[in-house]
């Protein structure tokens, strides 16, 4: 009985001992994720962040509302079909186009770069070269995206470091201050990035190419020529003969080969400076939604409003032949006659007889080639007749030629679903652009013959008629970039950049004081783009095309401004809220 009486006490004491462990018991243990503390401990840790940044480059031209599509939708070449009145673009409106919210995505890429930049010296590097190379790539990515941000939005806060904790006191830096910073960062990157890199990773050439654009933006034209020289004299060469996947198809040509997604990252292609990698054969999580080129840039030829036959039955349908190769055009970026026809006219040359391979019949699908594809239609197989449309007067806007040499990316054999533009690689930088950038630098320097030579290098490869020095104007240069770099170069950014150069130089009546009321971007877009010229003739979703000078850059999203409660992020002039602006910071500390 004595033992019985003690037993409970013993039990209790034993249990208490059992459970009263040390503080270690409460230590949190992450099990299936890394934290910066346990990741950035060696080179492999830093590299893993660079991999993310390389993948993020595909945001430029994958998915339906991609960044590049917006660049061309806001240009002479096209309108954003579903939001063709830019006055509907407000700091909070993103109903059908994402001119506003893409800023959030791009700043995530800036954040990723800053994580590496801020933590680069958290470890002791055995090899200084490793450190500098990793830092250089992070700086390249940050500069690449900031160059795009400045082009989209103008003045912005420059976020230089990894953000720790709640920071709500950002202030706007002027675009000039940011571009100066980018220049410094890219000079470092150009020094340390290797000449040869894996597909999809920026190299020394990609650094010098980007640096050329930044020098141009900073009006340092001699330096721009120098950095472009480093690329042009580097390991790159324009492609002039047939190569790659379709090389055996005699109906095609080198321009066709150049833009096959399968050819962009192969060794035979010496023109690629940088192209992102995005493959259908990758696991679903490792690939994007696809290039969406046939969705974004193609007209909705299959749509019942346009595609009716003479009995008002469906002449065009979204299945079968034609649909599988032209795809389900939406379009998000409706191409203008300027882009389809006018820029190909040169003297007696028209889009029909131009020797320019970039407008070769085999490279484009012209609207005259459309035939009713509905076997049930009375007009099956007959050529498309605009008179049958619900709105025949809108034929010019609704049905346009498609530059399939760039946009044709059919579904893979084992890929079902709508044909929108499958996965594929896409150019970020290509040597042809370097030539045209150097031509621009020569133009500003007044070396028009040098400019003409560079332009002709690009034109001759495409079998286009060469030009002379007297032909070199800023407008011609931008016509040429539209011919060569459609859906590759960020069009609105480049027009915006040149608008600032002209204003800074007070040329052609432009000045920085009233740039949001009068600028080169607007004057070109509003006078060349047929949609604005024929605004009253087309109405989509209740809107007629309209653009104003201040749309040369886009509004800063309201939530960004409103959540930054301890500082002032400026709104771009012309948009609601800009009355609260304070002068931007001119230096970056």
Partner 1 sequence: MKKPETPDQPRRDNEGIRHWKKYLGLSMAFSMSFSAAVSAYTLPSGSNKQPVWQTKSIAQTLQGRVTDEKGEGLPGVSILVKGTQLGTLTDVEGNYSLEIPNSNAVLIFSFVGYEPREITVNSSQTQLNVQLESDTKALDELVVVGYGTAKKSDLTGSVARINASTFKNQGVTQITDVLAGSVAGFQANQGTNASGGANMEIRGTNSLIASTSPMIVLDGVIYNGDLKDINPNDIETMDILKDASSAAIYGARAASGVILITTSRGKSGKPTINFSTRFGISQALNTGVAARGPQGYLDFRRDYFRTLGLSQPSYYWHSPEQLPEGVTLDQWRGASSNPNPDNTLEWLSRLNFFPTEVDVYLSGNTIDWAKEVFRNAKRQEYDVSVGGGNDNVSYYWSLGWLDNEGILLGDKFSAIRSRMNVDFKITDWLNAGVNAQYTNRDESAVNSKSGNESDNNVLPSLGGMYTTSPFARLYNEDGTPSWYPHGYPGGQNPLLNVLGQDRSRINNSLFASIYAEVKLPLGITYRLSFQPRIEALKDYNYWSPETIVGGFTYSGGYATRLETNRSEWMIDNLLKWNKKVGIHSFDVTLLYNSEQFKSWTTTLTNQGFAPSSTLGYHGMQYGNKPTMETNDIRYSGDGMMGRVNYALLDKYLFTVSLRRDGFSAFGQENPRAVFPAAAFAWKISQEDFFRSEGINDLKFRLSWGKNGNRDIGPYAAFSQMRSVQYYDGTNPQIGVSTSTLSNPGLRWEETESLNAGIDMALFGNRVNITADVYDATTRNLLVKRSLPRVTGFDNVITNIGALQNRGFELTVSSVNVRNNNITWRSNLNFSLNRNKIKALFGESGEYTLEGKIHQGEIPDFTNKWFIGQPVDVAWDYDIQGTWQVEEAEEALRYNLKPGDIKAADLDNNGAYEALQDKRFIGFTEPRYNIGFRNEVDFLKNFSASVFLRADLGHVRAFNQSVQGWSTFDRNSTANYPYWTPENRSNEYPRLANNIAPFGGGIIPFKQTSFLRIQDISLSYALPSHLAEAAKFKSARIFGSVRNLATFTKWPGWDPESGHYPMPKTFTVGLNVSL
CB-nearer residue toward partner 1: 346 or 564: 564
Which of 33, 124, 128, 509 touches partner 1 by CB under 8 A?
33
What is the nearest approach in angstroms of partner 1 to the Cβ of residue 105? 9
* Long-range CB pairs of 243-246, under 8 A, 24+ apart, other chains included: 243/268, 243/269, 244/268, 244/269
Decide if residue 163 touches partner 1 (CB under 8 A).
yes
Structure tokens at 538: 């087309």
Q: Report 185-204 residues binding partner 1 (CB under 8 A).
A: 198-200
Q: Report 446-485 residues binding partner 1 (CB under 8 A).
A: none
Q: Report 359-378 residues binding partner 1 (CB under 8 A).
A: 376
From the CB of residue 108, how many other CB atoms can be counted at a distance below 10 Å? 13
Asked if 136 and 207 touch (Cβ cutoff 8 Å), the reply is: yes
Decide if residue 3 touches partner 1 (CB under 8 A).
no
Decide if residue 141 touches partner 1 (CB under 8 A).
no
Contact window for partner 1 (CB under 8 A) among 84-92, 234-242, 365-373, 442-450: 84-92
Asked if 411 and 328 touch (Cβ cutoff 8 Å), the reply is: no
The number of residues that bind partner 1 (CB under 8 A) is 117
SS3 365: strand
Helices 491-504 + 520-528 axis angle, to 10: 130
> What is the distance in angstroms between the CA of the first residue and the CA of the last residue of the chain?
82
Largest CA distance in the chain: 120
Decide if residue 51 touches partner 1 (CB under 8 A).
yes
Q: How many residues does the chain have?
A: 589
C-alpha of 86 from chain center:
20
Decide if residue 566 touches partner 1 (CB under 8 A).
yes
From the CB of residue 354, how many other CB atoms can be counted at a distance below 10 Å? 22
Listed in order, strand segments (DSSP E) in 288-389 are 333-335
Q: Report 217-276 residues binding partner 1 (CB under 8 A).
A: 265
Q: Report 394-433 residues binding partner 1 (CB under 8 A).
A: 414-418, 425
CB-nearer residue toward partner 1: 283 or 446: 283
Which of 148, 259, 308, 398 touches partner 1 by CB under 8 A?
308
Decide if residue 41 touches partner 1 (CB under 8 A).
no
CB-nearer residue toward partner 1: 114 or 354: 114
Give the residue from 418, 405, 400 showing the smallest Cα distance to 323.
Answer: 418
CB-nearer residue toward partner 1: 328 or 516: 328
What is the distance between the alpha carbons of residues 376 and 373, in angstroms, rounded to a whole number? 9
Contact window for partner 1 (CB under 8 A) among 48-56, 342-350, 490-498, 499-507: 48-56
Asked if 92 and 127 touch (Cβ cutoff 8 Å), the reply is: no
Contact window for partner 1 (CB under 8 A) among 307-315, 345-353, 396-404, 490-498: 307-315
Which of 191, 393, 460, 517 touches partner 1 by CB under 8 A?
393
Structure tokens at 550: 């201040």
Q: Report 518-547 residues binding partner 1 (CB under 8 A).
A: 539, 541-542
What is the nearest approach in angstroms of partner 1 to the Cβ of residue 583? 19
Q: What is the DSSP letter of 330?
A: -
Which of 122, 241, 311, 527 touches partner 1 by CB under 8 A?
311
């Amino acid at each position: 009985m004595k033992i019985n009486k003690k037993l409970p006490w013993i039990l209790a004491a034993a249990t208490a001992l059992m459970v009263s462990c040390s503080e270690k018991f409460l230590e949190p243990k992450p099990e299936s994720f890394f934290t910066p503390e346990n990741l950035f401990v060696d080179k492999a840790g830093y590299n893993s962040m660079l991999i993310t940044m390389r993948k993020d480059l595909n945001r430029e031209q994958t998915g339906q509302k991609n960044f590049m599509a917006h660049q061309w939708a806001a240009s002479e070449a096209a309108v954003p079909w579903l939001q063709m009145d830019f006055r509907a673009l407000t700091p909070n409106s993103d109903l059908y186009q994402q001119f506003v919210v893409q800023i959030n995505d791009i700043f995530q890429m800036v954040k990723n770069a800053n994580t590496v930049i801020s933590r680069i010296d958290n470890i002791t590097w055995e090899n200084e070269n490793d450190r500098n190379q990793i830092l250089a790539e992070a700086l390249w990515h940050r500069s690449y995206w900031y160059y795009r941000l400045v082009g989209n939005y103008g003045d912005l806060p420059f976020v230089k470091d990894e953000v720790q904790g709640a920071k709500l006191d950002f202030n706007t830096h002027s675009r000039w201050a940011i571009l100066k910073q980018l220049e410094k960062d890219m000079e470092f990157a150009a020094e340390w990035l290797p000449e040869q890199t894996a597909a999809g990773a920026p190299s020394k050439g990609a650094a010098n190419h980007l640096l050329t654009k930044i020098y141009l933006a900073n009006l340092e034209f001699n330096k721009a020529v120098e950095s472009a020289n480093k690329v042009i004299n580097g390991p790159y060469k324009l492609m002039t003969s047939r190569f790659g996947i379709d090389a055996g198809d005699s109906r095609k040509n080198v321009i066709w080969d150049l833009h096959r997604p399968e050819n962009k990252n192969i060794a035979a292609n010496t023109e690629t400076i940088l192209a992102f990698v995005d493959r259908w054969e990758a696991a679903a999580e490792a690939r994007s939604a696809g290039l969406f080129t046939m969705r974004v840039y193609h007209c909705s030829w299959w749509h019942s409003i346009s595609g009716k036959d003479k009995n008002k039955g469906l002449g065009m349908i979204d299945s079968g032949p034609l649909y599988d190769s032209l795809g389900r055009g939406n379009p998000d970026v409706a191409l203008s006659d300027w882009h389809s026809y006018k820029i190909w006219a040169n003297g007696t040359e028209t889009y029909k007889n131009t020797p320019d391979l970039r407008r070769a019949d085999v490279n484009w699908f012209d609207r005259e080639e459309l035939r009713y594809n509905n076997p049930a239609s009375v007009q099956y197989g007959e050529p498309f007749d605009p008179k049958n449309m619900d709105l025949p007067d809108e034929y010019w806007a609704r049905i346009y030629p498609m530059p399939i040499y760039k946009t044709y990316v059919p579904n893979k054999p084992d890929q079902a679903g709508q044909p929108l533009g499958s996965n594929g690689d896409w150019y970020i930088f290509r040597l042809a652009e370097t030539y045209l950038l150097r031509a621009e630098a020569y133009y500003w320097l007044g070396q028009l013959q040098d400019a003409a030579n560079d332009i002709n290098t690009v034109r001759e490869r495409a079998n286009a008629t060469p030009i002379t020095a007297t032909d070199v104007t800023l407008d011609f240069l931008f016509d040429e970039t539209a011919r060569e770099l459609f859906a590759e170069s960020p069009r609105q950014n480049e027009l915006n950049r040149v608008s600032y150069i002209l204003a800074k130089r007070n040329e052609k009546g432009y000045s920085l004081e009233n740039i949001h009321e009068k600028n080169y971007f607007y004057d070109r877009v509003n006078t060349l783009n047929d949609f604005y010229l024929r605004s009253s003739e087309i109405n989509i979703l209740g809107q007629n095309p309209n653009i104003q000078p201040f749309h040369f850059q886009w509004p800063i999203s309201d939530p960004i401004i409103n959540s930054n409660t301890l500082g002032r992020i400026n709104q771009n002039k012309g948009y609601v809220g800009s009355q609260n602006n304070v002068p931007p910071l001119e230096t970056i500390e």
